[in-house]
Amino acid sequence: NAGVTQTPKFQVLKTGQSMTLQCAQDMNHNSMYWYRQDPGMGLRLIYYSASEGTTDKGEVPNGYNVSRLNKREFSLRLESAAPSQTSVYFCASSAAPTYYGYTFGSGTRLTVV
Amino acid sequence: TQLLEQSPQFLSIQEGENLTVYCNSSSVFSSLQWYRQEPGEGPVLLVTVVTGGEVKKLKRLTFQFGDARKDSSLHITAAQPGDTGLYLCAGPFGSSNTGKLIFGQGTTLQVKP
C-alpha cells in the first residue's frame, strides 16, 4: 500500500544513547516533516524538508538532527537522548501546496529512561 | 505567533447524540484542515476548507470555515462509536512553499454505545 513507513514502531533508550528514526514515502511527495506528539500539546514540528536537498528547523529542533537522504527518505537522529524526548514521533509527507494535506506514518513511540 | 485552540479538549457522549468541536485563532489562515487520529496510528486527513464561509459535508460530518478565516468547526450528527478518536485542526504557517502546518492541541471524542 502506498504511504509513509516509519521504523521502528517502539523503542526504549537509556539517557545519553543515540538512535535514528527512519521514514520513507512512496508517493513521490516533495515535502517531508517530523513532528512529535505529547499529551495535551498536539503535534509540534521538529524539522522539515520542503524539497530534496533542503532541511530546516521547526518549532522544537533542539536535541535533534535530520537527513533528507533522497526524495523518498527523511531520517531523524537523536544524538544524546534525554527523558524530555520521550514522545510519539510522526513522519509525514505532502505534495505542494499544503492544500492537499499530509500523509502520516503510524508513528514511533520512544521512551527515554 | 499563530496558534490554533480547540475546544472542548475532551468530549464523552452517547451514541446518537450530536456534537460540535471548535478550532479558533486570532490569526487569519489561508486554509484549515481537519484530521482524525485513532490510537496507535497517525492522523488521517478528513477535509480541507479554503474559502471563508465554506461548508463541506462528509457523510455525518459537517465542516465550516469562518467568514473571516480565523476559525472552523466540525459538527457530527448522530455520533457512532466508530467516530471515537482524536480530532485535530491544522493550518499552514510560514512561507507558503514550505507546506508547514501548525496543529491545535486536539479534541478527544469518546462515543459510548
Q: Which residues, in sequence order, are CB contacts of B3 under 8 Å at separation 6+?
A: B25, B26, B27, B102
| Alpha-carbon gap, residue A91 to A110, rounded angstroms | 14
- Please compute the mean of the pLDDT values over residues B67-88 and round it to a whole number: 97
- Please compute the mean of the pLDDT values over residues B83-105 and round it to a whole number: 88
Q: Report the percentage of chain B scoring pLDDT > 90.
A: 88
Q: Residue A99: what pLDDT?
A: 66
Q: Residue B103: what pLDDT?
A: 95
Q: Which residues, in sequence order, are CB contacts of B97 under 8 Å at separation 6+?
A: A50, A96, A97
Confidence of residue B9 (pLDDT cuts 50, 70, 90): very high
pLDDT at residue B67 tops 70: yes
Cβ-defined contact of A102 to B102 (cutoff 8 Å): no
Q: Which residue has the cell 537527513?
A: A67
A chain contacts of residue B100, beta-carbon cutoff 8 Å: 33, 45, 48, 58, 98
Nearest CA among A41, A37, A38, A34 for reference residue A6: A34
Q: Residue B94: what pLDDT?
A: 77
Q: Residue A100: what pLDDT?
A: 75
- Please compute the mean of the pLDDT values over residues B61-90 and round it to a whole number: 97
Cβ-defined contact of B99 to A33 (cutoff 8 Å): yes
Amino acid at residue number B50: V
- Please compute the mean of the pLDDT values over residues B75-92 and round it to a whole number: 96
Give residues 15 to 54 of B whose Cβ lies within 8 Å of A.
31, 33, 35, 40-45, 48, 50
Q: Residue A41: what pLDDT?
A: 82
Contact B64, B35 (CB under 8 A): no
The stretches in chain A having pLDDT less than 70 are 1, 96-99
Say which of A31, A42, A44 has its CB closest to residue B99.
A31
A chain contacts of residue B90, beta-carbon cutoff 8 Å: 43
| Alpha-carbon gap, residue A95 to A50, rounded angstroms | 10
pLDDT mean across residues, chain B: 94
A chain contacts of residue B33, beta-carbon cutoff 8 Å: 101
Question: A73: which DSSP letter?
Answer: B
| Alpha-carbon gap, residue B99 to B106, rounded angstroms | 20
Sequence-ordered alpha helix ranges (H) in A3-92: none
Cβ-defined contact of A92 to B97 (cutoff 8 Å): no
Amino acid at residue number A113: V
Cβ-defined contact of B88 to A42 (cutoff 8 Å): yes
B chain contacts of residue A74, beta-carbon cutoff 8 Å: none
A chain contacts of residue B45, beta-carbon cutoff 8 Å: 101-103
| Alpha-carbon gap, residue B42 to A23, rounded angstroms | 13
pLDDT at residue B35 tops 70: yes
Confidence of residue B96 (pLDDT cuts 50, 70, 90): low
| Alpha-carbon gap, residue B71 to B29, rounded angstroms | 9
Say which of A4, A56, A102 has its CB closest to residue B45.
A102
pLDDT at residue B1 tops 80: no
Q: What is the pLDDT of residues B12-31, one digit of tens each?
A: 999 999 999 999 999 999 99
- Please compute the mean of the pLDDT values over residues B67-85 and round it to a whole number: 97
**Nearest residue in A to B98, CA atom:** A50
Contact A15, A112 (CB under 8 A): yes
Q: Residue A108: what pLDDT?
A: 97
